Amino acid sequence: MEKTEDIDFSVDIEDRVKRADNHVIIGLDSVVHYFTFQHGVILKDSLTRLATKLMDGRKPRFKVAFITNLSWAISSQTLEVQKVINETKTLLHEEFSDEDGDSQNISSLLTTSKRTDSNPIIVIALFAYKAKSDEIEVIGAGLGTFKNKVGGYVAYLATKEDVYSKSKYGKSADTESFLGRGIAKFVLSMFQFVTYWRSYKSCKHIFLHCNKDKVPLFQHYGFVEADMTDKKQWPSSVKTLHASVGISNSDVRLFDHHAMTIDVAIHGSLDKTIRLSLSASSQPSAPPGGPSKKSTKAAMIMDREITADRRIPRMRNEKTSTAVAAALAMLSAQASASVG
Ligand SMILES: CC(C)(COP(=O)(O)OP(=O)(O)OC[C@H]1O[C@@H](n2cnc3c(N)ncnc32)[C@H](O)[C@@H]1OP(=O)(O)O)[C@@H](O)C(=O)NCCC(=O)NCCS
């Protein structure tokens, strides 16, 4: 069976993101595997299921783009990242109206390669390859910036209002909506991981503004409302940060946007919590000092217990897996995934 870098389970995403010139694109299967085992991230089954979908050549249908410096990525010659940037623009234009001047700001942020400010613009995009062409579609995206020792600021966050359809994605598509699978929360948390790593672990805070009707949604993710007049809760450096991505103080006041912030992990734990060793065919990274003698096929060695964040209350019917169960399901699905 052909093994591509995209379905390499041993990929160390922290290392790849830290070393990236301007972007890294990784199959969703590797991303789910890495964050489940290394950071105790627990995703809904409806999201991890997308990670098992393969195309011809057993390449992942769903991928995640971690754009660590948009201005540089815009000038990149890589076709795949160009498509991601264009399709992120399409998604954000669909989901944000022009009333607040958002369309123009989104276009400007996603097309201007020359920027005068020093804060890098970050984009996290979950995207999928369509079945009958080389075209992609961005399903979920977050766009924002960060500054060392200040934090990350999310200017735009959206999930595509559409279903995972067989006509677009082939016979193995589940025909369910992309909404409500935890995609926005996943994108937000990837944004936080990237700002944390790229700021030499000096940024845990994520700040954002939203309409009043979205306050409960972000509270559901663990955010709290901040008083923008209190410099302890909303420092002047945050105002400079959001101004750098075209969100001005006067607009915030004009549209009565609410300020929200979080300073703990949105998903799982920001630092690595467990290390896994598998002697199965997935060729995992060996623990320091070489592979354990005790490891047998599909046996797991956990150095520490999962310390998944338990602050966020779960809905009663939420279909989540435990970290280990989800990843094991991924592994077995990987072995039997149907191409489509
Ligand atoms: C808002 C939006 C990003 C959500 O995307 P999504 O991928 O469906 O979101 P998720 O699946 O991660 O989260 C939905 C969760 O929030 C919960 N939720 C949604 N609205 C809520 C509310 N008003 N109060 C409490 N919880 C709410 C849902 O019940 C669901 O909870 P669950 O995960 O426990 O089942 C998407 O609808 C969108 O793109 N909207 C347009 C753009 C926008 O408004 N962006 C946000 C402001 S920048």
Q: Classify domain 5-336 by CATH architecture.
A: 3-Layer(aba) Sandwich (3.40)
What is the 80 CA–ligand 1 centroid distance (Å)? 28
Which of the listed residues 43, 159, 217 should we mutate to test ligand 1's pocket, taking the one with most ligand atoms within 8 A of CB? 217
What local confidence, expressed as pLDDT, does residue 275 receive?
A: 54
What is the 2 CA–ligand 1 centroid distance (Å)? 38
Q: How far is CA 136 from CA 31, 82, 234, 326, in A?
A: 18, 11, 38, 26
User: To 5 degrees, how large is the angle CA 24–CA 172–CA 141?
Assistant: 35
Ligand 1 contacts CB of residue 209 (under 6 A):
no
- 219 Cα nearest atom in ligand 1: 25
What local confidence, expressed as pLDDT, does residue 208 receive?
A: 98
Longest dimension (CA), the chain: 64
What is the 184 CA–ligand 1 centroid distance (Å)? 7
Q: How far is CA 252 from CA 205, 228, 310, in A?
A: 19, 10, 32
What is the 62 CA–ligand 1 centroid distance (Å)? 21
Ligand 1 contacts CB of residue 214 (under 6 A):
yes
Reading the chain (340 residues) residue by residue, the pLDDT tens digits are 333 444 556 789 999 999 999 999 999 999 999 999 999 999 999 999 999 999 988 899 999 999 999 999 998 889 999 999 999 999 999 999 777 789 999 999 999 877 655 789 999 999 999 998 889 999 999 999 999 999 999 999 999 999 999 999 999 999 999 999 999 999 999 999 999 999 999 999 999 999 999 999 999 999 999 999 999 999 999 999 999 999 999 999 999 999 999 999 999 999 998 655 444 333 333 333 333 333 333 333 333 333 333 333 333 333 444 444 555 555 555 544 545 4
What local confidence, expressed as pLDDT, does residue 282 receive?
A: 38
How many C-beta neighbours within 10 Å does residue 333 have?
Answer: 17
Identify the H or E element spanning 143. Answer: strand 136-147
Residue nearest to atom 43 of ligand 1 (CA): 158
Number of residues assigned to the chain: 340
Spatial distance between the Cα atoms of 160 and 177, rounded to a whole number of angstroms = 9
Ligand 1 contacts CB of residue 109 (under 6 A):
no
What is the 243 CA–ligand 1 centroid distance (Å)? 25
Give the three-class secondary structure for 242. Answer: helix
Q: How far apart are the first and last CA of the chain?
A: 17
Ligand 1 contacts CB of residue 179 (under 6 A):
yes
Residue nearest to atom 26 of ligand 1 (CA): 217
Residue nearest to atom 15 of ligand 1 (CA): 180
Encoded amino acid at 198, one letter: R
Rounded to two decimals, the pTM is 0.84
Domain limits of the chain? Answer: 5-336
Tell how many helices (H) and how many strands (E) occur in the chain.
12, 8
Ligand 1 contacts CB of residue 215 (under 6 A):
no
Nearest alpha-carbon partner for 13 in 21, 24, 22: 24
Residue nearest to atom 20 of ligand 1 (CA): 217
What is the 286 CA–ligand 1 centroid distance (Å)? 38
What local confidence, expressed as pLDDT, does residue 299 receive?
A: 31
What local confidence, expressed as pLDDT, does residue 223 receive?
A: 98
What local confidence, expressed as pLDDT, does residue 333 receive?
A: 54
298 touches 9 (CB < 8 A): no
Ligand 1 contacts CB of residue 217 (under 6 A):
yes
Ligand 1 contacts CB of residue 195 (under 6 A):
no
